[in-house]
């Protein structure tokens, strides 16, 4: 069987990136560690929260200058929004503040799990798409919701691996695999729940186009080293998928054939 075709670049809304890691900027011990982690990861897209930047005239000003110095693509998010109206207003303010029509769209439906409100998400996505936003929606692996998000104008989907900050990895691997098969031509990025580089590699081995994470790096004992590890794991997973992974089997299969080997069929060696 031929190996799957894989684009060497991650392309989102017509822009191409060498790295398939999208990195969050919240919760780091210091701005300096954030900057070093971002560089070590190789990430070219950073997510930023409008709520953090609302204090730009005070401590937020230093953060803004740091992000500008990194010279990376900014992806504002609507984190913490619980209604379509709130998410739309936050996206509009983010466009004014950050000077970009890219938005990571979040509409939270449950405070305990931080699971997306899929109905509100579709409503907000449709309204923002009509305003020209390039939307990267934080969603689940639900196929019906995914179809509606694509119909609403989303050219990228970002299903969760597991609840935000849980570090549980891919809780519904079959569901994520089905989503990939159902949307072979839509960029898919696993967002949330990634706790270890092995989780990120697993997502990429399923054929996903990228991984977005924050807490697993920001809260690591050594965020800079962990960021580098994630960058390598994502690249390794992508290369493995492109090379063509062996399918699991129920029975053993000898790696060395018996036919033609010394003593094959003799029963015993005298």
User: What value does the mean pLDDT of the chain take?
Assistant: 88
Question: Known binder of ligand: residue 77?
Answer: no
192 annotated ligand-binding residue: yes
Query: What DSSP state is assigned to residue 246?
Result: P
Q: Would the pLDDT of 141 be above 70?
A: yes
Which residues are registered as beta bridge partners of 134?
A: 102
Q: Which helix (H) or strand (E) holds 225?
A: helix 223-243
Provide the pLDDT for residue 3.
Answer: 44
Average pLDDT (116-128) is 95
Q: Which of 55-64, 235-244, 254-263 has the lowest mean pLDDT?
A: 55-64
In the residue annotation, 85 being an active-site residue is answered as: no
Q: Furthest-apart CA pair in the chain: how many Å?
A: 87
Residue 110 marked in a binding site: no
CA distance 209 to 12: 10
Give the Å distances, CA to CA, from 109 to 62, 127, 141. Answer: 32, 18, 15
**Token pair for residue 40?**
């070590």
> What is the reported pLDDT for 254?
72
CA–CA separation, 158 vs 39, rounded Å?
A: 23
Q: Which of 104, 177, 219, 232 is catalytic?
A: 104
**In this structure, are residues 164 and 190 in contact, taking their beta carbons and an 8 Å threshold?**
no
pLDDT(7) > 50:
yes
Determine the Cα–Cα distance for residues 10 and 186; give it in Å rounded to an integer: 11
Higher-pLDDT residue of 16 and 70 is 16
**pTM higher than 0.85:** yes
CATH 3.40.50.1000 fits 16-243, yes or no: no
Higher pLDDT, 88 or 264: 88
């Amino acid at each position: 069987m031929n190996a799957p075709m894989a684009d060497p670049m991650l392309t989102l809304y017509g822009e191409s990136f060498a790295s398939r890691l999208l990195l969050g900027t919240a919760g780091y011990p210091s701005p300096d560690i954030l900057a070093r982690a971002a560089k070590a990861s190789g990430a070219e897209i950073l997510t930023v929260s409008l709520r953090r930047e609302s204090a730009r005239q005070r401590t937020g000003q230093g953060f803004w200058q740091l992000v500008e110095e990194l010279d990376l693509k900014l992806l504002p998010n609507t984190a913490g929004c619980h209604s379509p109206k709130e998410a739309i207003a936050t996206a509009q303010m983010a466009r004014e503040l950050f000077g970009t029509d890219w938005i990571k769209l979040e509409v939270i439906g449950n405070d305990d799990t931080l699971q997306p409100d899929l109905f509100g998400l579709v409503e907000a996505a449709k309204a923002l798409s009509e305003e020209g936003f390039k939307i990267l929606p934080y969603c689940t692996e639900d196929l019906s919701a995914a179809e509606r998000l694509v119909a609403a104008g989303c050219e990228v989907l970002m299903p969760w691996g597991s609840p935000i900050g849980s570090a549980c990895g891919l809780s519904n691997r079959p569901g994520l695999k089905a989503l990939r098969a159902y949307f072979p031509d839509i960029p898919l990025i696993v967002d949330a729940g990634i706790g270890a580089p092995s989780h990120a590699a697993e997502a990429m081995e399923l054929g996903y186009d990228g991984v977005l994470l924050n807490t697993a790096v920001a809260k690591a004992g050594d965020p800079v080293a962990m960021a580098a590890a994630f960058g390598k794991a994502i690249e390794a997973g992508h290369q493995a998928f492109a090379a063509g992974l062996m399918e699991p089997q129920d029975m053993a299969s000898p790696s060395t054939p018996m036919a033609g080997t010394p003593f094959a069929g003799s029963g015993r060696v005298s």
